[in-house]
Amino acid sequence: MTSINTNNAAMAALQTLRGINQGLQTTQAHVSSGYRVGKASDNAAYWSIATTMRSDNKALSAVSDALGLGAAKVDTAYSAMSSAIDVVGDIKAKLVAATENGVDKAKVQEEIGQLQQQLLSIAQSASFSGENWVSGANGTKSVVSTFVRDGSNAVSVMMTDYVLDNSATGNVLFGMSGGSVDTSSGILGSTSGSSGSVYSMNITTYTLGQIQTALTNVETALKSMTSAGAQLGSISKRIEMQENFVNALSDSIDSGVGRLVDANMEEESSKLSALQTQQQLAVQSLSIANSSSQTILTLFRG
């Protein structure tokens, strides 16, 4: 039966066309954005995971920046410690020279005095971003190590610590008091025996025995400074390794998120072409269904 009020064929063709248009719109969105899961309604589970991991990746990016800042602090301290070791080595050589008979100790002390002032200058200037790791009071210096999300979804920031010790066998050149360098503490400032500290000794009137004591003190200081340099070097290496790991981890997260939400462009391209063809056929089918009612007019022609 043919009816002019209800065209079942046209309604079926229209419903098909609506479905094709909806699929075409979705595919075009995938192609234009590059995502097959661009919003929660596309796939709530994948969208939730991707959103969380993108947030974590931003935190890792901040960690990478913090590691760069921490590396700069450690490298500054290491450079200062290395320079101080060279200067103390020069003082050691001057002391050895002063043990020779007939040497003018006052002249040797003038040279040692300049080297001592250089040590103070190194300790004062070895600061980066307001932090000095070679001159300071007892305490802990820290740099950001990584951002962690554990199995219970709790998040935390891990730190790498460097404990300052301003004793004679510690790891700082001088202590700190009231915001200023304390030249009476630290590896170079702590007094040991009758010869005083490495920084304060004056060999002008020293006997041979006192010079030998001073030489022993300098050697002890060199051992402590070498140990401190090794500590700083190991932290610097750890930071470098952590930077590489964080960068690799960030890339892995990006890749993992991509597998969840990125569109397969080859597949979407094929689907787009197919849907465009289906759309044309559906429009033609609807046109045929709509024209079928026109045949009823022939029944009423005389």
pLDDT (average), residues 49-64: 91
Distance between CA atoms of residues 239 and 282, nearest Å = 62
Same domain, 274 and 135: no
Same domain, 171 and 29: no
DSSP E strand stretches across 75-208: 127-128, 131-132, 139-149, 155-164, 175-177, 180-182
pLDDT at site 301: 65
pLDDT in tens, 91-119: 999 999 999 888 899 999 999 999 999 99
Kindly tell me if the per-residue pLDDT of 246 is higher than 80: yes
Distance between CA atoms of residues 239 and 224, nearest Å = 23
> Quick one: DSSP state of residue 143?
E
Alpha-carbon separation of residue 257 from 54, 156, 289 (angstroms): 8, 21, 46
pLDDT in tens, 150-179: 878 888 888 989 999 999 999 999 999 888
In a domain, 232, yes or no: yes
Task: Provide the pairing of β-strand 175-177 with 127-128.
Answer: unpaired
The domain of 242 spans: 61-261
Average pLDDT over the chain, rounded to whole?
88
CATH number, residue 85: 1.20.1330.10
Same domain, 131 and 147: yes
Nearest CA to 162 out of 180, 186, 184, 138 is that of 138
Same domain, 100 and 202: yes
0.95 surpassed by pTM: no
pLDDT at site 252: 93
In a domain, 6, yes or no: no
CB 294 within 8 A of CB 79: no
Letter string b/e over residues 10-47, b meaning 16 or more CB atoms within 10 A of that residue's CB: beebbebbeebeebbeebebbeeeebbbbeeeebeebb
Distance between CA atoms of residues 142 and 73, nearest Å = 10
Best mean pLDDT range from 6-10, 143-147, 236-240, 258-262: 236-240
CA quadruple 242, 244, 245, 249: dihedral positive or negative? positive
pLDDT at site 90: 97
Same domain, 245 and 280: no
Per the listing, tokens 């465009």 go with 276
pLDDT (average), residues 29-50: 86
pLDDT in tens, 117-149: 999 999 999 999 889 999 989 999 998 888 888
